């Protein structure tokens, strides 16, 4: 490439230390003008720290940042903006009750005499940008009323409005439908063609292969290397990222469904947000020895369905039958008799973060005879049990059983929950986004555990937003849209595109919706 | 696999050091205040400031002034005994706050619970005619009745929190004032008002008074047994109640740390959602937690008023007992550890005694010790900051370490595990 010396931003030999951790250890990242550069790494590899350094949120101990070959000092985000660096954060930074237009101009308001806003000019500029790049937004809608996809377009317009030429996307596809992801990829390519430079942070290999020109890989705070995307394949990238060969595909044999474990009949759960039911008239069964997956875009009632099923919330219609018993009105504790639950939010529900690992391991079981005598907890038994689980499920932590859950890495927190729930050995496992935010290595492990449990004759109800996970792990797919099951698919006979149409509500029960 | 944290890195070690730093800071600040007062006054000099400072730090060992007019030091049984006596109710209200705090609730209702305990213990002690029941039984009835009443009183904010999600702080403030007025009203309409000693207006009889033929007679009532402590600390008010208070602190510690019940309470306190997820009834636990907290505060009142040498000022509708509120700094300084509460309560009462020594022996008054307590309370609110600072300072230098929070799930730490 002839423009190899034309680096718009260079981060050279950046080292950033936190107490006890070298978050960035001699990392070099060079972004060419007009390229899409992917930054790949597991959780905790140092991607966020590096970006925070670029944004002036942290000052590195060593290394320098150059813009167009000139060393620059970035002390705070305002400096970064002045240098033309813009970022779409994973969790959008929008004011919910402001309109789209107000959000876009916020912080870069054009004002006239006496400090009055000159919104008309701003509106024209935003409209022009919106048309030019096909970023459809409703400028007068409030952010809280628009879809996540549109919110992301608002974030992108925010960068364009500020004439940023270096655009950073932090995990931008996590919340999008397959169709929206395609649109985003096209937009990114369009930006690159115009000479804008894009830094694309992700751990999804497919997207890197589809859109990026080069990839820089970080592992455990260290720089592994930069490669041209065209020269590598997914397997090589994931090996670079994890540092060892990783099984990308889930290996599993055909399922052998046995007796019915869970049955939902016309099950309804009320919504806390609106008057309608969040889960409306849902019926399905899960049998022993199969993984049934509820697919859908976030916020279509999956969370409420699980709450209603596990007892965290009350259902207001229909019934749930578990192992032949009507559990519709049972308490959470009672339901736990035949059900284990890997919760969606491991910090909210899954763990008591200020408890130690061993205290967390017996969160449901501390009342069992094994762990208490006459109301006194048998600390020895709890310790022994925890050590057994740590050993068996390879849960890693600084101080073993007495580690505070809060100080463990996300992957190991999740492993601990999985160990606890799987070891409770219940006929039904409800797993909600069990791999969310985890890296390839941990995902591989968790998938193999779920398949192993299936093969041991457990019924697994999996709720996932990750299409790849849905396609590779499930034996049957139920698609949820606006609180209803709109389709049942066989993963062997469908593809991501069809699944996406169901998830977006464009298709239901095999018929085209009249939209 | 038998791993143990090095002593200096243990959470408890750091908490203790953080509290000690707060205490030292408070005492030094008190000394500075004395110095400033001394230097800004015509009548006081550096010599008097030095006397005051010494009293702030070790007033508990002051034995007054010798013939030459210099401060004299030594074992002062009266001081130490009175410190124990004052610590007794403070341990209980401190426990009440600490225990609730560990379960995620801020019990600012200790003053109200203390007042209800006062009402019930005095009513039972003075209401049962002398000789109708054995004295020990009367004492026990008064003590247990107070605990029960305090528990019911404490459960009210708990109930409101559990079922209506009303903030317990607000509910506690309301119940405090309801208690103050209720107690005043009940005593105003009672015949427990001291009419024997005319100089005492608006006071209730000491519990040493007993009802004999419709008349209250001194010496016919009950009092907490001294258990020989009065011999150990002659001239002081101390009695066996301090042992009961310490015993209860140990019981609370065991309950919180060793039992399934304490585990449930703490799980609800640390993460109500996770507790619910695990099938623990968060509502029941919130109510029980507040009830126990109320019972503990009321027990403190019972121990204090049943001691036989205390007189209750019954017209209390305009004020709440300070002992109830002082439970908060006692608990915070002890980082809500029940055993720690024993020591912080003793320390707070020691400051009280030092303050009295200041007033008696020097030109300074006991309000200096209030300043010290205020500084300590402020600093104990910063204890998290101090702890973080300590965490940095006490980090082991030999690599490895246990501060691997976000590090690599893929790597086993070297040098760990045996």
Q: For B75-86, what is each residue's pLDDT tens digit?
A: 888 999 999 999
For A347, the closest chain B residue by CA position comes to: B274
- Is the dihedral angle over the CA atoms B377, B379, B385, B389 positive or is it negative? negative
CA gap A466, A438 in Å, rounded: 12
Strand order in the sheet with A70-72: A70-72, A62-67, A7-18, A21-32, A222-228, A214-219, A36-40, A197-202, A166-170, A85-88
> How far is A515 from chain B, CA to nearest CA, in Å?
40
Q: Is residue B403 situated within a structural domain?
A: no
Q: B406–A21: do the CB atoms touch at under 8 Å?
A: yes
What pLDDT was estimated at residue B8? 65
Does residue B7 or residue A39 have the better pLDDT? A39
Largest CA distance in chain B: 83
CA gap B109, B116 in Å, rounded: 11
Partners of residue B399 in chain A, C-beta under 8 Å: none
> How far is B263 from chain A, CA to nearest CA, in Å?
8
Domain that holds residue B55: 10-75+385-393
Query: For the residues A131-145, what does the mean pLDDT come to?
Result: 86
Same-domain status, B339 and B255:
yes
Q: For A364-397, what is each residue's pLDDT tens digit?
A: 999 899 999 999 999 999 999 999 999 888 888 7
| Residue B139 pLDDT class (50, 70, 90 cuts) | very high
Q: Is residue B372 situated within a structural domain?
A: no
Who contacts A274 (Cβ-Cβ below 8 Å, separation ≥6)? none
Same-domain status, B297 and B240:
yes
The residue among B269, B262, B256, B270 whose CA lies nearest residue B339 is B256
CB B146 within 8 A of CB B298: yes
What pLDDT was estimated at residue A181? 84
Q: Is residue B154 situated within a structural domain?
A: yes
Same-domain status, B146 and B278:
yes
Taking 50 as the threshold, does the pLDDT of residue B408 lie above it? no
Q: Chain A within 8 Å of B199 (Cβ-Cβ)? A: no
Does residue A243 or residue A305 have the better pLDDT? A305
**How many Å separate Cα A428 from the centre of its chain?**
24
Considering only the beta carbons, identify the residue of B271, B402, B408 that sits closest to A220: B408
CA gap B265, B286 in Å, rounded: 8
Q: What is the DSSP letter of A356?
A: B
The residue among A313, A319, A347 whose CA lies nearest residue A332 is A313
CA gap B229, B238 in Å, rounded: 7
SS (H, E, C) chain B: CCCCCCHHHCHHHHHHHHHHHHHHHHHHHHHHHHHHHHHCCCCCCHHHHHHHHHHHHHHHHEEEECCCCCEEECCCHHHHHHHHHHHHHHHHHHHHHHHHHHCCCCCCCHHHHHHHHHHHHHHHHHHCCCCCCCHHHHHHHHHHHHHHHHHHHHHHHHHHHHHHCCCHHHHHHHHHHHHHHHHHHHHHCCCCECCCCCCCCCEECCCCEEEECCEEEECCCCCCCCCCHHHHCCCCCCCCHHHHHHHHHHHHHHHHHHEHHHHHHHHHHHCHHHHHHCCCCHHHHHHHHHHHHHHHHHHHHHHHHCCCCCCCECCCCCCCCHHHHHHHHHHHHCCCCHHHHHHHHHHHHHHHHHHHHHHHHCCCCCHHHHHHHHHHHHHHHCHHHHHHHHHHHCCCCCCCCCCCCCCCCCCCCCCCCC
Taking 90 as the threshold, does the pLDDT of residue B71 lie above it? no
**Which of 325-364 (A) contact B at CB < 8 A?**
331-336, 341, 343, 348-355, 359, 363-364
Q: Chain A within 8 Å of B200 (Cβ-Cβ)? A: no
Q: How far is the CA of B394 from the CAs of A205, A386, B389, in angstroms?
A: 42, 28, 9
Taking 70 as the threshold, does the pLDDT of residue B241 lie above it? yes
CA gap B160, A357 in Å, rounded: 33
> How far is B170 from chain A, CA to nearest CA, in Å?
26
Q: B277–A341: do the CB atoms touch at under 8 Å?
A: yes
Q: Is residue B16 situated within a structural domain?
A: yes
Same-domain status, B287 and B327:
yes
Q: Is residue B197 situated within a structural domain?
A: yes
Considering only the beta carbons, identify the residue of B279, B407, B411 that sits closest to A331: B279
**Which of 2-41 (B) contact A at CB < 8 A?**
3-5
Angle between helices A410-423 and A440-455 (to 10 degrees): 10
Q: Chain B within 8 Å of A238 (Cβ-Cβ)? A: no
Q: How far is the CA of B376 from the CAs of A119, A225, A330, B334, in angstroms?
A: 53, 53, 49, 12
Torsion of CA B53, B59, B65, B69, to 10 degrees: 0
Considering only the beta carbons, identify the residue of B271, B273, B407 that sits closest to A409: B407
ipTM of this predicted complex? 0.79
How crowded is residue B227: how many other Cβ atoms within 10 Å of its Cβ? 15
> How far is A229 from chain B, CA to nearest CA, in Å?
26
Q: A376–B260: do the CB atoms touch at under 8 Å?
A: yes
Q: For B169-211, what is each residue's pLDDT tens digit?
A: 999 999 999 999 999 999 999 888 888 776 667 888 889 888 8
Q: Chain B within 8 Å of A115 (Cβ-Cβ)? A: no
Residue of B274, B284, B384, B393 best to disrupt the A interface, most CBs of A under 10 A: B274
Q: B271–A341: do the CB atoms touch at under 8 Å?
A: no
Q: Chain A within 8 Å of B266 (Cβ-Cβ)? A: yes
CA gap A389, B373 in Å, rounded: 47
Q: A352–B275: do the CB atoms touch at under 8 Å?
A: yes
Burial of A103 (0-12, 13-18, 19+ CB in 10 A): buried
Partners of residue B408 in chain A, C-beta under 8 Å: 44, 220, 409
CB A138 within 8 A of CB A150: yes
CA gap B234, B229 in Å, rounded: 8
Taking 60 as the threshold, does the pLDDT of residue A131 lie above it? yes
- Planar angle of CA A198, A200, A205, nearest 5 degrees: 140
Q: Is residue B242 situated within a structural domain?
A: yes
3-class DSSP state for residue A266? Answer: strand
What pLDDT was estimated at residue B395? 55
CB A24 within 8 A of CB A49: yes
Percentage above 70 pLDDT, chain B: 90
Instruction: Count interface pairs A-B at CB distance under 8 A.
Output: 126
Radius of gyration of chain B (CA): 24
Same-domain status, B26 and B126:
no
Taking 80 as the threshold, does the pLDDT of residue B155 lie above it? yes
Q: Chain B within 8 Å of A242 (Cβ-Cβ)? A: yes
Same-domain status, B292 and B146:
yes
Same-domain status, B39 and B126:
no
**How many Å separate Cα B145 from the centre of its chain?**
20
Q: A363–B413: do the CB atoms touch at under 8 Å?
A: no
Query: For the residues B217-227, what does the mean pLDDT come to?
Result: 88
Q: Chain A within 8 Å of B397 (Cβ-Cβ)? A: no
What pLDDT was estimated at residue A189? 92
Taking 60 as the threshold, does the pLDDT of residue A513 lie above it? no
Who contacts B326 (Cβ-Cβ below 8 Å, separation ≥6)? B90, B93, B94, B348
Query: For the residues B340-348, what does the mean pLDDT come to?
Result: 94
Considering only the beta carbons, identify the residue of B278, B391, B416 that sits closest to A363: B278
Taking 80 as the threshold, does the pLDDT of residue B106 lie above it? yes
How far the first Cα of chain A sits from its last, in Å, is 46
Domain count, chain B: 2
Identify the bridge partners of residue A55 per DSSP, sorted by sequence position. Answer: none
In order of start, what are the domains of chain A with their CATH numbers? 7-242 (3.40.50.300), 260-512 (3.40.50.300)
Same-domain status, B54 and B141:
no
Q: A21–B407: do the CB atoms touch at under 8 Å?
A: yes
Same-domain status, B41 and B110:
no
Partners of residue A243 in chain B, C-beta under 8 Å: 410
Q: For B378-387, what is each residue's pLDDT tens digit?
A: 887 776 677 7
Backbone angles phi, psi at B382, to 5 degrees: -90, 10
CA gap B188, B215 in Å, rounded: 18
Q: For A314-331, what is each residue's pLDDT tens digit?
A: 899 999 999 999 999 999
CB B334 within 8 A of CB B340: yes
Residue of A44, A313, A378, A399 best to disrupt the B interface, most CBs of B under 10 A: A399
Q: How far is the CA of A467 from the CAs of A177, A447, A503, A513, in angstroms?
A: 9, 14, 10, 21
Q: Chain B within 8 Å of A400 (Cβ-Cβ)? A: yes
Q: Chain A within 8 Å of B277 (Cβ-Cβ)? A: yes
What pLDDT was estimated at residue A173? 79
Partners of residue A439 in chain B, C-beta under 8 Å: 409
SS (H, E, C) A202-218: ECCHHHHHHHCCEEEEE
Q: B395–A402: do the CB atoms touch at under 8 Å?
A: no
Q: Chain A within 8 Å of B407 (Cβ-Cβ)? A: yes
E strand or H helix at A222: strand A222-228
Q: What is the pTM of this model?
A: 0.76
CA gap A289, A273 in Å, rounded: 36
- Is the dihedral angle over the CA atoms B5, B6, B7, B8 positive or is it negative? negative
Radius of gyration of chain A (CA): 25
Q: Is residue B354 situated within a structural domain?
A: no
CA gap A406, B390 in Å, rounded: 19
Taking 50 as the threshold, does the pLDDT of residue A4 lie above it? no
CB B311 within 8 A of CB B128: no
Taking 60 as the threshold, does the pLDDT of residue B404 lie above it? no
Taking 50 as the threshold, does the pLDDT of residue A358 lie above it? yes
Summary mean pLDDT of chain B: 86
Q: For B284-317, what is each residue's pLDDT tens digit?
A: 999 999 999 999 999 999 999 999 888 898 888 8
Partners of residue A312 in chain B, C-beta under 8 Å: 276-277
| Residue A240 pLDDT class (50, 70, 90 cuts) | confident
Burial of B107 (0-12, 13-18, 19+ CB in 10 A): buried
Partners of residue B336 in chain A, C-beta under 8 Å: none
Considering only the beta carbons, identify the residue of B259, B406, B410 that sits closest to A375: B259
**Which of 284-313 (A) contact B at CB < 8 A?**
310, 312
For A409, the closest chain B residue by CA position comes to: B406
CB B326 within 8 A of CB B345: no
Backbone angles phi, psi at B319, to 5 degrees: -145, 155
CA gap A92, A73 in Å, rounded: 26
Same-domain status, B108 and B251:
yes
What pLDDT was estimated at residue B199? 67
CB B207 within 8 A of CB B135: no
Considering only the beta carbons, identify the residue of B4, B270, B406 that sits closest to A355: B270
Partners of residue B282 in chain A, C-beta under 8 Å: none
E strand or H helix at A282: strand A277-287
Q: Is residue B414 situated within a structural domain?
A: no
CATH assignment of the domain containing B222: 1.10.3470
Taking 70 as the threshold, does the pLDDT of residue B397 lie above it? no
Same-domain status, B63 and B139:
no
CA gap A331, A311 in Å, rounded: 6
Same-domain status, B343 and B295:
yes
Taking 70 as the threshold, does the pLDDT of residue A37 lie above it? yes
Who contacts A116 (Cβ-Cβ below 8 Å, separation ≥6)? none
How crowded is residue A19: how many other Cβ atoms within 10 Å of its Cβ? 11
3-class DSSP state for residue A238? Answer: helix
What pLDDT was estimated at residue A3? 43
């Amino acid at each position: 490439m002839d423009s190899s010396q034309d680096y718009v931003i260079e981060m050279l030999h950046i080292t950033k230390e936190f107490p006890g951790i070298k978050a960035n250890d001699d990392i070099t990242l060079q972004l060419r003008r007009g390229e899409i550069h992917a930054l790949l790494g597991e959780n905790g590899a140092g991607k966020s720290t590096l970006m925070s350094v670029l944004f002036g949120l942290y000052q590195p101990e060593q290394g320098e940042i150059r813009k167009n070959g000139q060393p620059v000092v970035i002390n705070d985000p305002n400096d970064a903006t002045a240098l033309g660096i813009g970022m779409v954060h994973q969790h959008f930074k929008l004011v919910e009750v402001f309109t789209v237009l107000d959000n876009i101009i916020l912080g870069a308001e054009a004002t006239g005499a006496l400090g009055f806003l000159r919104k008309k000019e701003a509106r024209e500029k935003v409209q022009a940008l919106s048309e030019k790049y096909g970023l459809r937004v409703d400028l007068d809608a409030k952010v809280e009323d628009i879809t996540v996809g549109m919110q992301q377009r608002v974030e992108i317009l925010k960068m364009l409005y500020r004439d940023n030429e270096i655009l950073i996307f932090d995990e931008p596809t996590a919340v999008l439908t397959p169709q929206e992801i395609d649109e985003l990829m096209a937009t990114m390519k369009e930006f690159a063609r115009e000479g804008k430079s894009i830094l694309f942070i992700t751990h999804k290999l497919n997207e890197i292969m589809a859109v990026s020109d080069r990839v820089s890989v970080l592992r455990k705070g260290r720089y592994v290397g930069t490669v041209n995307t065209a020269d590598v394949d997914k397997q090589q990238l994931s090996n670079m990222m994890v540092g060892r060969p990783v099984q990308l595909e889930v290996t599993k044999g055909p399922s052998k469904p046995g007796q019915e474990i869970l049955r939902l009949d016309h099950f309804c759960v009320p919504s806390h947000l609106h008057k309608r039911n969040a889960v409306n008239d849902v019926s399905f069964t899960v049998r022993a020895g199969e993984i049934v997956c509820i697919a859908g875009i976030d916020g279509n009632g999956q969370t409420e369905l699980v709450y209603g099923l596990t007892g965290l919330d009350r259902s207001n219609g229909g019934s749930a039958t578990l192992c032949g018993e009507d559990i519709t009105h049972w308490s959470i504790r009672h339901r736990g008799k035949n059900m284990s639950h890997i919760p969606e939010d491991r910090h909210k529900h899954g763990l008591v973060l200020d408890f130690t690992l061993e205290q967390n391991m017996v969160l449901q079981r501390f009342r069992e005879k094994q762990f208490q005598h006459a109301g006194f907890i048998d600390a020895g038994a709890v310790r022994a049990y925890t050590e057994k689980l740590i050993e068996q499920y390879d849960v890693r932590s600084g101080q073993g059983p007495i580690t505070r859950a809060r100080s463990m890495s996300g992957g190991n927190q999740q492993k601990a929950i999985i160990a606890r729930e799987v070891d409770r050995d219940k006929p039904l496992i409800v797993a909600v986004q069990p791999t969310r935010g985890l890296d390839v290595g941990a995902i591989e492990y968790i998938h193999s555990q779920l398949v192993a449990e299936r093969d041991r004759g457990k019924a697994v109800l999996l709720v996932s937003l990750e299409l790849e996970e849905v396609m590779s792990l499930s034996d049957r797919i139920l698609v949820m849209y606006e609180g209803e099951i709109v389709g049942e698919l066989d993963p062997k006979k469908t593809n991501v595109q069809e699944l996406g149409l169901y998830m977006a509500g464009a298709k239901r029960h095999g018929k085209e919706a009249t939209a | 696999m038998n791993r143990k944290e090095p002593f200096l890195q243990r959470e408890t070690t750091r908490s203790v050091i953080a509290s000690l730093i707060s205490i030292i800071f408070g005492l030094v600040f008190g000394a500075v205040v004395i110095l400033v007062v001394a230097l800004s006054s015509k009548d006081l000099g550096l010599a008097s400031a030095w006397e005051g400072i010494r009293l702030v730090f070790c007033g508990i060992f002051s034995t007054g002034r010798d013939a030459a007019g210099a401060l004299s030091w030594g074992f002062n049984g009266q001081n130490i005994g009175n410190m124990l006596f004052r610590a007794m109710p403070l341990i209980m209200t401190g426990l009440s706050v600490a225990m609730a705090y560990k379960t995620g609730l801020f019990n600012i209702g200790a003053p109200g619970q203390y007042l209800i305990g006062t009402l019930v213990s005095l009513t039972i002690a003075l209401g049962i005619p002398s000789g109708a029941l054995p004295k020990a039984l009367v004492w026990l009835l008064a003590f247990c009745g107070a605990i029960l009443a305090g528990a019911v009183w404490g459960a009210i904010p708990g109930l409101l929190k559990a079922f209506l999600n009303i903030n317990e702080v607000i509910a506690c403030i309301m119940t405090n004032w309801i208690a103050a007025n209720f107690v005043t009203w009940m005593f105003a309409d009672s015949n427990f008002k001291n009419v024997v000693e005319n100089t005492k207006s608006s006071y209730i009889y000491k519990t040493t008074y007993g009802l004999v033929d419709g008349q209250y007679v001194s010496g016919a009532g009950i009092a907490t047994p001294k258990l020989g402590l009065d011999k150990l600390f002659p001239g002081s008010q101390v009695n066996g109640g301090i042992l009961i208070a310490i015993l209860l602190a140990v019981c609370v510690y065991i309950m919180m740390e060793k039992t399934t019940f304490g585990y449930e309470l703490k799980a609800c306190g640390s993460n109500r959602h996770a507790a619910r997820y695990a099938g623990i009834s968060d509502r029941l636990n919130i109510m029980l937690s507040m009830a126990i907290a109320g019972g503990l505060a009321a027990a403190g009142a019972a121990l204090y008023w049943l001691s036989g040498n205390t007189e209750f000022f019954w017209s209390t509708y305009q004020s709440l007992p300070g002992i109830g509120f002082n439970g908060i700094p006692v608990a915070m300084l002890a980082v809500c550890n029940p055993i720690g509460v024993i020591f912080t309560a003793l320390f707070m009462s020691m400051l009280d005694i030092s303050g009295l020594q200041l007033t008696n022996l020097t030109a300074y008054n006991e309000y200096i010790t209030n300043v010290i307590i205020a500084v300590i309370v402020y600093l104990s609110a910063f204890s998290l900051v101090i702890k973080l600072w300590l965490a940095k300072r006490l980090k082991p230098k030999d690599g490895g370490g246990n501060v691997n929070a976000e590090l690599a799930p893929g790597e086993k730490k070297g040098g760990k595990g045996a």
